[in-house]
Structure formats: C-alpha cells, structure tokens
Amino acid sequence: MPLLHLHLCFTSMLCWLAHESSSLVLPNATELLSPPSSTRTGPAPGAGMPRSRRRRYLSPRDMNAILDYHNQVRAQVSPPAANMEYMVWDERLARAAEAWAARCVWEHGPPQLMKYVGQNLSIHSGRYRSVVDMVRSWHHEQQHYSFPHPRECNPRCPSKCSGSVCSHYTQMVWASSNRLGCALQACSNVHVWGSTWRRAVLLVCNYAIKGNWIGEAPYKMGRPCSACPPAYGGVCSNNMCFTGLKSNQVSWF
C-alpha cells in the first residue's frame, strides 16, 4: 500500500524577541510520512537491517548527508540568491534537537528555544527510510512555492504557497539560517493526531538564525554572492557566501 503523505502546520504564531516587533514568524513545520493508523502491524522500522542502522541515531555520515543536502538545495535555488549563506553544522543546535527528540512528542519545542530557533520535524513508521529521504520530503515542497518578485514586496512580501505547506522548504533555504543541528530518535510510543504510533522514527532539525518571517522572502534574488554580509569578506563558494568554516563541532561523539 503506498504511503500517505500528509502535512501539518501549527497555527500558533511565535515572535522572536530579538527581531523587530512588527515581524511575525511562520509556524514551525512538521512532516508526517506514514499512514495515520494506531493499529499498524509488521516489523519495526529497519527490521532486517544491521543493528547499527536499527539504533536510528545520527552517525557522522548521517550528519554530513543532512548538511550536504541542505547546502545542495541552497546552492541551487531558483531564482538564484544574492545573499545565500553556506550552512554549517552546529553541535549546540544538534544537542538541543537530541534532547527534544528523546521526549518522543509530536510537537515543536522546547517553547523557550522556539523564540530564537527554527525547527523542522519529520516522522515516519513502516519501511526503512534514510535521513536524506526524510529531509528530501521538505525539499519537495519547492514545487508548490513561488518566489515573490521584488516588486510584489511593497513593503511586505506575499506568501505564495499553492500547497498545504511550504515552510519546511523556505526554512531550508532561508539565507541567514546558516547553522543546522539535527537528531534522530526511535520511539516506541508517539501520539500523533489522536493516534498512538507504537514504532516510529522522529527527526528534529534546528536552524539558527530562525527563518520563515512573515512578510519577508527567504533570500534576496540576484547574482550569487552579490549581496553577501560584510563578515564574509567577499568569499563565495558554490553560489554561497562562505567563511571557510564547515562545522563548530569538536568531535563526532
């Protein structure tokens, strides 16, 4: 039976205290990648896979894969971005994601952190999915998103999403969201839309600085690297503003 793809977008609006008070942020977004059934049977996710894969913790390879996929998407945005910043792995964001994922709850959090950090969630049950599969579903929202032309932003840009949600994708390509940290958790019980999933895998990705501000476009349209922040010193790599730093991580656990 094909998997049913459903999307959930929370309706609460959060203001970032450090941002101008007139701006609101779009809800953090979640992705549901499984039939919403509390009675599903069959093997646990990853059954038949090597033990290390069944554990479902992020390996260094997974971390690199998630980060590389984000930067690939960011480098290839259309229309091209004048101020897209190269994204680096942030261990502090990853540890915050790990602590939240360990709670096995289908909601964003913790609330205090959400004032300053963007967050994408994805959950699935059933056949094995790689972490890139889970992240790729966010990128697929691009087909429903129309980038606002500068003349439409007078002064605030319209939201142009023809699908149920585009905020996973726009957070991925938010130009100033240049730090990423994610965590993966195998959960025995997760309450999702009134049902209890006995076996599920939850992915939490935190972004800083927070993106998805209402009335703003995710990036400036223009020649790549033509509007990089001064801190980058004019250095450009693969269509992105680049400092030479790829991670603030000291070790891979």
Q: Does 103 score more than 90 pLDDT?
A: yes
Average pLDDT over residues 2-20: 29
Higher pLDDT, 33 or 253: 33
Place of tokens 């997974």: 62
**pLDDT tens digits along 191-205:** 888 888 888 999 999
Give dist(CA 173, CA 78) in Å, integer: 11
Higher pLDDT, 6 or 201: 201
Q: What is the mean pLDDT of the chain?
A: 80
pLDDT of residue 8: 33
Its pTM stands at: 0.79
Instruction: Band the pLDDT of 126: cuts 50, 70, 90.
Output: confident
Maximum pairwise Cα distance, the chain? 56
Give dist(CA 229, CA 232) in Å, integer: 6
Q: Are strands 179-187 and 88-89 parallel, antiparallel or unpaired?
A: parallel
pLDDT of residue 195: 85
User: What's the distance, CA 157 to chain centroid?
Assistant: 22
Question: Residue 237 forms beta bridges with which residues?
Answer: 240
pLDDT of residue 3: 34
Give dist(CA 144, CA 184) in Å, integer: 27
**pLDDT tens digits along 32-58:** 454 333 333 333 333 333 333 334 579
Q: Does 9 score more than 60 pLDDT?
A: no
Enter the CATH code of domain 55-247.
3.40.33.10
Give dist(CA 124, CA 32) in Å, integer: 6
Do 141 and 165 touch, CB atoms closer than 8 A? yes
Do 181 and 24 touch, CB atoms closer than 8 A? no
Q: Does 148 score more than 50 pLDDT?
A: yes
- If phi > 0 it is left, if psi is from -120 to 50 it is alpha, else beta; for residue 204 that is beta
pLDDT of residue 44: 37
Look up residue 123 and give its amino acid: I
Give me the residue spans of the domains in the chain: 55-247
Do 181 and 95 touch, CB atoms closer than 8 A? yes
Angle of CA points 149, 152, 155, to nearest 5°: 120
Q: Does 16 score more than 80 pLDDT?
A: no
Do 88 and 180 touch, CB atoms closer than 8 A? yes
Written as one string, the DSSP assignment of 26-82 is PPPEEEEES---TT--SSPTTTTS-HHHHH-PPPHHHHHHHHHHHHHHHHT-SSPBS
Instruction: Band the pLDDT of 28: cuts 50, 70, 90.
Output: low
pLDDT of residue 95: 96
Neighbours of 7 (CB within 10 A): 18
- 15 CB-contact burial (10 Å; exposed 0-12 / middle 13-18 / buried 19+): middle
Q: Does 240 score more than 90 pLDDT?
A: yes
Instruction: Band the pLDDT of 30: cuts 50, 70, 90.
Output: low
